[in-house]
Amino acid sequence: MSQTFPIFKREFLGYFRSPVAYVFLVVFLVASVGLAFFLSGFYKANVASMESYFFWHPWLFLFLVPAAGMRLWSEERRSGTIELLFTLPVTTLEGVMGKFLAAWAFLTLAILLSFPLPLTLAYLGDPDWGVIANSYLGSILMAGAYLAVCSFMSALTKNQVVSFVLSVLVCFVLSLLGFSVFTDFLSGYLHLPVFLVDVISNFGFTTHFDAFSKGIIDPKDVMFFLSLMGFSLFLNVVVLER
């Protein structure tokens, strides 16, 4: 995996060589903090917690992670640089990991740039740092899982719009699976047995993210996000080698 690092470095710095990074960071911060302030009443709740900030993350990621991930491979395909990259002494896995980790590090940066929020909480009250740290961890893991799906989708096409739409669609289904509206529909209208509904809802993003935002690190949830990443990236490699 020694070749992953130069690719990671090029890709990560590449975000800052174009306006993409700055536009994305500003939009992400305005949207995530704005939702917490104006829709969830960050101050009005009068509680020293970041729940109102993290609550929106699954829905925010649904659009913003595909926006960051749509160009990963489709851009390389369209411009022909994929031929350059894969005639350098690099394996497909090293290429996929380098680009994925760079994009994930970029998303992590976007999430961590909300740091004035917890600092404000510490100034105004006495927040539970364990819960906040956990929520950040959960959010970063969830962003990685969304991103791995987007990376796979972008390898399927050279058109970034197609890549974006496919990514939103797949991520939407994955977020929806855990929702009560959806599970009620499965058990109420389709009369699926309860164990099957449970299995399906277990694949939902929100189900696994909720535990983190309550301050619980369940190895099952960590494994869910990591294995989803692993599986998507494996498919990503397979598609590129085809």
Partner 1 sequence: MIEVKGLVKTYGAKRAVDGISFEVRRGDILGFLGPNGAGKSTTMKMITGFLRPDAGQALVDGIDVVADPVAVKRKLGYLPESAPSYPEMTVEEFLGFIAEVRGFRATDARRAQVDRAIALTHLAPVRRQTIETLSKGYRQRVGFAQALLHDPPALVLDEPTDGLDPNQKNEVRTLIKGMAAQKAVILSTHILEEVEAICTRVIIISRGRVVADETPAQLQARQPGARLDAIFRSLTQSDL
List of residues contacting partner 1 (CB under 8 A): 3, 6-7, 9-10, 14, 17-18, 79-81, 83-84, 86-91
Alpha carbons within 13 angstroms on the beta-carbon side of residue 24 total 21
Least distance from C-beta 23 to partner 1, angstroms? 14
Place of tokens 């791995």: 148
Least distance from C-beta 113 to partner 1, angstroms? 22
Residue 103 or 121: the one with the smaller Cβ distance to partner 1 is 103
CA distance 144 to 60: 14
DSSP element (H, E) containing 129: helix 129-155
Residue 3 or 40: the one with the smaller Cβ distance to partner 1 is 3
Residue 79 or 227: the one with the smaller Cβ distance to partner 1 is 79
CA distance 169 to 210: 21
Least distance from C-beta 19 to partner 1, angstroms? 10
**Interaxial angle between packed helices 57-69 and 160-176, expressed in degrees from 0 to 180 and rounded to the nearest 10:** 160
Residue 41 or 80: the one with the smaller Cβ distance to partner 1 is 80
**CA proximity to 102, closest of 16, 19, 25, 10:** 10
CA distance 119 to 148: 31
Least distance from C-beta 185 to partner 1, angstroms? 42
User: Tokens in use for 34?
Assistant: 């704005």
Least distance from C-beta 150 to partner 1, angstroms? 20
Residue 11 or 221: the one with the smaller Cβ distance to partner 1 is 11
